[in-house]
Structure 1
């Protein structure tokens, strides 16, 4: 049985050039077929498209990461224009969402302007029938569900989801998907999320170059780390590991329409 993988969420442009070259060179020996590469801002969005033009395993998503200052109107409009001009090349809209962690540090930060920005990306996802990749954790996930439901969005990916069971149940009831990083191998809360989520709505990711602990401490994050994630998922669900590989690969490939 082939044990192939797709990294459902990675910031490929944030790696150093040498690290990125090594990462791409080792994909085949690591049985990784594709990378869904998300964007942080306008420069990042353009870079994802440039990288995708050089390697067809790179599947670009365009968006604006919410854990930063709001984009200037000129930058936001430029990103939206990039989406319009390249919609046929895109795998998804993302990474977009709400600034949960920033608000923990800045409690007075107004969330409404971020909601307005997110809505513009939701409208693009709806208009181009593209999946949307979301940074929406804890109580923010419920607010984002409200928005997605109001636009009748069918394909939403809550990456590295963290939150209460009630929110997770709502996400799953809507047919949306969640993904886990290599921290599933050592974090009990993430393992609980896996236990609650059917394989048909579960994907694996690295969120690289974000670093991890445990077995991965001190290592540059690489998609090959997802093999240990799959092993842990199989153990949590008491399933044959080949079945887990097959179903998660199929879920990711179908969700992102990766050929």
Structure 2
């Protein structure tokens, strides 16, 4: 049985140097073929490109994470120029989206500038013919779907998606893909999403170094954890685990043009 997996979303630059060395060293023995390394800002984007030059299994995406203060115009222009200069070796635009959690902490924050920022990244994804990796959960996903539709974007990845069935149905109807983290092994909300989502639109990720609970409590988040995610997905969908491995692997390869 082929057990190869691809980490569809990881913040490789946020690990310590020793942790990153360990992860890369152990990829082959844990049947992890490659890592989709998303970026948080300009410095992060530069770092992911550097990692990709050192190790071809690291597939870099450039973007600006929405759960933080807005970038200066100078930083944003730097990110856009970096995309233009490196689009041939990029796997995607990301991570980009809307600041759901920031709005919970800072009531009254104006979301309009974040929408404008996301709009610029969507235009860049279209211009460069690259997939887009989205942080868009709950009600934010509705607005993001509106924006994707206006740009006729079909290659959209909603990472660690959370939302009600109506939003999920729209995301799936548009042909977008979702990825789930190791919390699928213990979170009923995520298990419900997996149950509703066709296997052909599912991927697995770690969002490392984000920590997890359950059997992963107190552990460094490692791409090998995705094997447990796949076992859980197989149980939820009552499918043979080999079929789940095959389909998720093929979906990820096809979506990211690997």
TM-score with structure 1 setting the length: 0.99
Aligned to 2:75: 75
- Residues 18-57 of structure 1: matches in 2 within 5 Å? 18-57=18-57
The question of 1:205 aligning with 2:205 is answered yes
Measure how far apart 1:171 and its partner are.
Answer: 0.4
Partner residue in 2 for 1:187? 187
Cross-structure match for 1:13: 13
RMSD over aligned Cα, in angstroms? 0.4
Partner of 1:128: 128
Instruction: Report how far residue 68 of structure 1 moved.
Output: 0.1
Paired with 1:126 and 1:171, the residues of 2 have a C-alpha distance of 19
Aligned to 2:87: 87
Match of 1:224 in 2: 224
* Cα distance in 2, alignment partners of residues 72 and 130 from structure 1: 24
CA distance in 2, matches of 1:38, 1:224: 18
Residue in 2 that maps onto 1:168: 168
CA distance in 1, matches of 2:152, 2:21: 40
Q: Which runs of 5+ in 1 are unaligned?
A: none
Q: Distance in 1 between matches of 2:176 and 2:130?
A: 13
Deviations 1:82-136 (A, max 9, x none): 0000000100000000000000111210000000000110001111110000000
CA distance in 2, matches of 1:214, 1:234: 19
Structure 2's unaligned 5+ residue stretches are none
**Cα-to-partner distance string for 1:14-62 (whole Å, 9 max, x where unaligned):** 0000000000000000000000000000000000000000000000000
Take 1:81 and 1:165, find their aligned partners in 2: how far apart are those partners?
Answer: 38
Whole-Å separation in 2 of the counterparts to 1:121 and 1:156: 12
Corresponding residue for 2:106?
106
Number of aligned residue pairs: give it: 258
Using the alignment, how far apart are the partners of 1:88 and 1:65 within structure 2? 22
Name the counterpart of 1:255. Answer: 255
What's the offset of the Cα at 1:2? 1.1
> What's the CA shift string for 1:58-80, capped at 9, x where partnerless?
00000000000000000001000
Q: Could you tell me how far apart the structure 1 residues matched to 2:32 and 2:199 are? A: 19
Query: Superposition pairs for residues 227-246 of structure 1, below 5 Å?
Result: 227-246=227-246
* 1:141 is the counterpart of 2:138: no
Distance in 1 of aligned mates of 2:230 and 2:154: 26
Counterpart of 2:95 in 1: which secondary structure? strand
- Name 2:61's counterpart in structure 1: 61
In structure 1, distance between residues paired with 2:33 and 2:7: 8
TM-score, normalised to structure 2, is 1.00
